[in-house]
Amino acid sequence: MAGLFRKFWNPQKAKSSAQRRRMTWGGRSFERSLSSTGRFIQRQFWLWPLLAVLVLASIGFWVRRAIEQTMRDSLRSQLTTLLATETAMLKKWFEVQRKLAETMANDPEVRRAVYPLLGITDEADADQSAVLEAARKELDKSLAPELATAGLNGYFVADRQMQIVASSYPMLVGQQGIQPYESFLERVLNGASVVSVPFPSAVMMKDDSGELRTGVPTMYACAPIRDTNFRVVGALALQLRPEREFTEILQLGRIGESGETYAFNREGVMVSNSRFDEDLILLGILPDQPHVRSILNVMIRDPGGDMTAGYRPTRRRSEMSLTRMAASGVTGESGVDVDGYRDYRGVMVVGAWTWLPELDLGVATELDVAEAFRPLTILRRVFLALYVLLVASAISLLVFGLIVARLRRKAAKAAIEAQRLGQYTLEQKIGEGAMGVVYRARHALLRRPTAIKMLDVDKMNDTAIARFEREVQITCQLNHPSTVVIYDYGRTPEGVFYYAMEYLDGIDLQRLVDGYGPQPAGRVIHILRQVCGSLFEAHAQGLVHRDIKPANVMLNRRGGEPDVVKVLDFGLVKDVAAEHPSSGDGGLAGTPLYMSPEAIQSPMAVDARSDIYSVGAVGYFLLTGRPVFDVHDFSELARKHVQEMPEPPSKRVGKRFSEPLEYAILACLEKSPAKRPQTARDLANLLKKCPEASAWSLEDADAWWSRHERGESPSHDSASEASSVGPTPDAYSRTILSDGDQ
């Protein structure tokens, strides 16, 4: 630690000194971290099951994520492959139907029979009705073999005005402007061959049970009819039954027990049959009627909840929004979703979909999430069972640990109540704070009065123990007569942490001023020079006290010498030689009334000159009886420390002090550390040169202690009986107990 000062006084050695500090700090830091971690785990043995839970949870989470990602990738691949296969088969089937329609539309016999129906005939004087009737019969005869071979149900022929001139359904003849037909006839009359999307039939026709009714799902393969000049003069439409080959192709594509592939139109209506028609009837999605099918009867809309699990929607199906898949598909998009979305039953599914603009329909393949991720669910349950067992073990050990800790606390309290602490006999409690207690005690053999500071067994934790140990270790490094002496440190078998220090039967500077008012300038100089001696030793070892204040300086009569100063409470000391301070060094530390500007603005940057500022503030308080800035609002106090110059002591109290003394005090209180005395010894030398330095003699001090040890009241009005010199619980709670304890 002294390397910091060697760097300051010997710049040429700074580089090698800094390197040594980095190396030693790294070794010490690693050793301390390893040691403290080992002690913590050893004390908190119940943490092992929790650590096991965390490790297993991390492994389980990683394994689950890896398996889930693998399953997602596999699902994505399966869904897209299946969808690609289905769409390829569907496109092939549509192409076959188009070719069939084109072949039949271009058949010479069909064209010869159709031309009279379209007004293309050489028999101008013939009976038109007879000609048309003969043409229809010839057309029926020409198409009959092809219709039977291809498994087609019927046909119709339309002219350029979309009027039906011939059909296997007589009621259609003469009809014009039938809306379902217009959508594909317009494209055919423009020269394209088209296979329509399934739609409800406009005429009475037999359903798959043989019953005649309208609204039966149907679709047409339609091709243009051309004249001898290759001009489109009409259209031939061949009727297909979508629930046969069209639906059968789609139902070939499925994964697992819950997978299905289906087609939908631009309105988000299913145009193929679902695998789950019976289930859809039970769910109320399909009406409970004979021979009802899902084709053209199911709107692919999200009900808002899983209907298979009992959820019942509160809105009509037409008012519901499309499922995520359908909403994307009807806009012409293709996609894959393996995260899950609700289908038309409200069941969470994974799926892939595509829109086929040339067919004017979408195709989707879906699989229930529960089935898709069933292996992952099993794995999750296994890990959950392991977690439960480990957590139960951790709780059991925690309860056991709490019982053991409670027994140890009882044993520790019993030891204290028995007035025994190792080799020390406790005599009287002389101080108590939020975290610790101080007793007057005597060593069993030495019979020397001692002050014992111990941690409260009810409030003991790792932070408190670490700070307690740090305070002892740092104070033990210091040997100056004005630094409190540590005799012993230990931990009893009952688990009580304590250290023994010299017993101080004096008075701290806060009580001194509160009870006896501002002190003579000579006495103030005498006190501050001793404080400087203690701090110079600490600073030389690279330590900054960070909490110099009146309550942390005791004035005593020791070994027959009056006005002996003892600097206390090294619990907030910062090691400035450490290039990477511990977390405890990084926050705001100290007492606001006596903190330097840099301690407020940048606590990490404080050095020995910050303590010099605090010494100046203590001297100001001793001379005037008032703090440098006497405000109670912290933000205002901080602002004044950072920005405002203090009022000179002579002006503050209306009493003249020598110019060198006032200069020394105000120099300590400079805002810039560079303008202050650079070391505690520099400040001590400034104070030594003050005219008042010899004004307080040994006889004056003896007289004061003799007078006030007898309990004589001070002359000013603020005196009280409690002002007499001697150790009181209040004094020790303010001085021996650190800020973290109060």
As annotated, the active-site residues are 547
Closest by alpha carbon to 181, among 165, 167, 201?
A: 201
Q: Would you mind telling me the total number of residues written for the chain in this entry?
A: 742
Burial class (CB within 10 angstroms; exposed 0-12, middle 13-18, buried 19+) of 285: buried
Closest by alpha carbon to 497, among 529, 447, 463?
A: 463
Give the C-alpha distances (Å, rounded to integers) separating 172 from 232, 486, 635: 22, 114, 93
How many other β-carbons are positioned within 10 Å of the β-carbon of residue 672? 9
Q: Where are the beta strands (DSSP E) in 129-202?
A: 154-159, 164-167, 194-195, 199-200
Q: HEC profile for 335-389?
A: EEEEEEEECCCCCEEEEEEEEECCCCEEEEEEEEHHHHCHHHHHHHHHHHHHHHH
Structure tokens at 683: 């400040």
Q: Checking DSSP bridges between strand 335-342 and strand 348-356, what pairing results, if any? A: antiparallel
Burial class (CB within 10 angstroms; exposed 0-12, middle 13-18, buried 19+) of 375: exposed
Q: Where are the beta strands (DSSP E) in 550-592?
A: 553-558, 561-567, 574-575
**CA quadruple 19, 22, 26, 29: dihedral positive or negative?**
positive
φ, ψ dihedrals at 575, nearest 5°: -90, 105
How many other β-carbons are positioned within 10 Å of the β-carbon of residue 598? 20
Q: What is the largest CA-CA distance in the chain?
A: 158
What are the residues whose beta carbons fall under 8 Å from the beta carbon of 158, sequence distance 6 or more?
164, 165, 181, 185, 189, 234, 235, 237
Cβ 648 vs Cβ 620: under 8 Å: no
Q: How far apart are CA 427 and CA 441, in angstroms?
A: 5
Q: How far apart are CA 632 and CA 429, in angstroms?
A: 32
**Helix ranges (DSSP H) in 44-127:** 47-105, 108-117
How many other β-carbons are positioned within 10 Å of the β-carbon of residue 440? 18
